[in-house]
């Protein structure tokens, strides 16, 4: 048999009588602390949100077209992405730096054999860089087709 709401409200948690009332008061205290923490956490989250943003509101993603086929991306989106050249140059510089480090470490350690996964990654990287290099060499022909 469970307690009625009226009985639960009548329990004096500052002076509980018996084990059951003590357990009930401990549970009530824990629930109140949890609710207080949730409200407190939400208040903190609001403090860190950028101006103009609301907690719990869903906003559209400006990068939502990242995985769509090229024909679905509007011309306006492409014009706004002028920063891609800088990102490309940064990626290329990082690739050259990594390749130089790998080359120097392999020579320094006199490595005779590579693990399969290492060889696979090096082959993929070389293939990707070759494809981009071929594209850059023939860039004039690609632009004529457009």
Residues 6+ apart with CB under 8 A from 55: 42, 45, 46, 49
Could you tell me the pTM of the whole model?
0.41
Residue 65 belongs to a domain: no
Q: Which residue has the higher pLDDT, 63 or 117?
A: 117
Residue 119 belongs to a domain: yes
Residue 134 belongs to a domain: yes
User: Using one digit for the tens of pLDDT, what is the confidence trace for 50-93?
Assistant: 666 665 666 666 655 555 555 555 554 545 556 777 888 888 89
Check whether 40 has a pLDDT greater than 80. no
Q: Which long-range contacts (CB under 8 A, 24 or more apart) does 9-14 make?
A: none
Residue 113 belongs to a domain: yes
């Amino acid at each position: 048999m469970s307690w009625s709401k009226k009985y639960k409200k009548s329990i004096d948690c500052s002076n509980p009588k018996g084990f059951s009332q003590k357990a009930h008061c401990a549970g009530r205290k824990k629930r109140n602390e949890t609710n207080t923490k949730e409200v407190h956490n939400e208040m903190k989250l609001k403090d860190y949100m950028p101006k103009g943003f609301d907690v719990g509101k869903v906003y559209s993603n400006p990068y939502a077209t990242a995985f769509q086929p090229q024909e679905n991306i509007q011309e306006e989106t492409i014009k706004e992405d002028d920063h891609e050249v800088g990102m490309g140059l940064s990626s290329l510089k990082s690739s050259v730096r990594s390749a130089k480090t790998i080359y120097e470490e392999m020579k320094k350690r006199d490595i005779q054999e590579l693990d399969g996964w290492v060889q696979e990654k090096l082959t993929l990287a070389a293939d990707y860089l070759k494809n981009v290099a071929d594209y850059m060499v023939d860039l004039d022909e690609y632009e004529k087709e457009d």
